[in-house]
Structure 1
Amino acid sequence: MAKKVRVLIADDESIIRMGLRVMLRDLGYEVAGTARDGVEALDMARQTKPDLAILDIKMPRMDGLEAAEAISRERPIPIIILTAFSDREYVERAKSTAVHAYLIKPVKEEKLVPTIELARAHFLEQQTLAQEVQTLEEALQARELLEQAKRLLMEKFNIGETDAFQRIHRQARDSRRSMRSVAQEIINRHG
């Protein structure tokens, strides 16, 4: 059986929290916790480690967008903003935060599942892209180190680029280390 998606609910209106709790349970989701404001939502997210959060945009102490940012900084998860306001200012603020979807009150059950699943899909895509960017940045950095190490070897031993590359490759293979590690060692020693 698949693991249930754990959802954190934050809204300053108890009737909304209760309604969402019932809807989510009926739809097969697990409610990780409920909060009355953004500060409670942040604390609850720390304690319960939900898979997704539904946060009302207007709450006391800390609004939903501030809570979304704080939660995402600590432990990124998909975030859905819930609001009775379709005000342009809120939409613009939501676009520049860690929000993955937007639901207008009153929430209809038939819109809840698609919104949750789209938010999860967008979040996963965002995480995958971030990982790809990190991998590419690391590869570029390794390539730059390798180029720098080759130049140092070429100058020090008066050899060509191919020979310098082969020395680094052979040393990496013989010592069972990455070429990046060997290149860094050459730079530290001869740079």
Structure 2
Amino acid sequence: MSRYKILVVDDEPIIRMDLTEILQREGYEVVAEAKNGEEAVELAYRHKPDLVIMDVKMPVMNGIKAADIIRKFSHTSILLLTAYSHRELIQEARQSGVTAYLVKPVSEEDLIPAIEIALSQRDRVSSLQQDIEDLKQKMEERKIVERAKGKLMSTLQLGEEEAYKWLQRQSMESRVSMAKLAQELLNA
């Protein structure tokens, strides 16, 4: 199992200690602990955890505000813990991009499945984001090939299919990608 990095945030030291012990026993790496939302934001930025487990009601900055800020610079999952289950609080948590929400007192039997689901969601989102980046890159490469093909069509008086085949052949002979060859043609 790859060791996921977790940030634990609660204004009660005993709760932080209990959560950390449970997490470490389950094989997770607790990279840092914070006592308020402001520290959570700073530590999340510094440690880039896979998951932040955070209380809602804390001094300085509450967990929902901290979650909102963390989600702006990170794709980490956020699991909120609270003694309150008011509908407004749940709505605010949803709007802040919180992945999961547990009502205190939290048992280990409730916590571990919630963590696993939150981390699974994070992995799925990360995978989708990588797919999107790959598709964007392919689209950019395709645009470059299309522009180079257009240049070949006009300078060598080739048809579209002939220009594409010319690019393919040159790419194979020179052992470079069509996108790289196309960029070289456009730069020439």
User: Shorter-normalised TM-score: what interval?
Assistant: 0.7 to 0.9
**Counterpart in 1 of 2:61?**
62
**Number of the residue aligned with 2:172:** 173
Shift of the 16–168 alpha-carbon distance from structure 1 to 2, 3 Å rule, reads: same
Deviates more, 1:58-67 or 1:117-126: 58-67
AA aligned to 1:80 is L
RMSD: 2.4
Alignment of 1:1-191 (within 5 A): 2-189=1-188
Cα distance in 1 for partners of 2:26, 2:91 equals 30
**Cα distance in 2 between the residues matched to 1:170 and 1:177:** 11
| Structure-2 change in CA distance of 1:165 and 1:117 (3 Å) | same
Q: In structure 1, what is the Cα distance between the partners aligned to 2:176 and 2:85?
A: 56
Q: Residues 48 and 76 of structure 2 are in contact (CA less than 8 Å); yes or no, is this contact kept in structure 1? A: no
TM-score normalized by structure 1?
A: 0.83
Unaligned runs of 5+ in 1: none
Distance change (3 Å), C-alpha of 1:162 and 1:62:
same
Provide the identity percentage.
Answer: 41
| Uncovered stretches (5+) of structure 2, i.e. residues with no partner | none
Superposed displacement of residue 153, structure 1: 1.4
TM-score (norm 2): 0.84
Comparing 12-21 and 115-124, the one that deviates more: 12-21
1:152-171 Cα shifts (integer Å, max 9, x gaps): 21122221112111222233
Q: Which piece of structure 1 moves more, 173-182 or 23-32? A: 23-32
Query: Which range moved further: 19-28 or 161-170?
Result: 19-28
Alpha-carbon distance, 1:51 to partner = 3.6
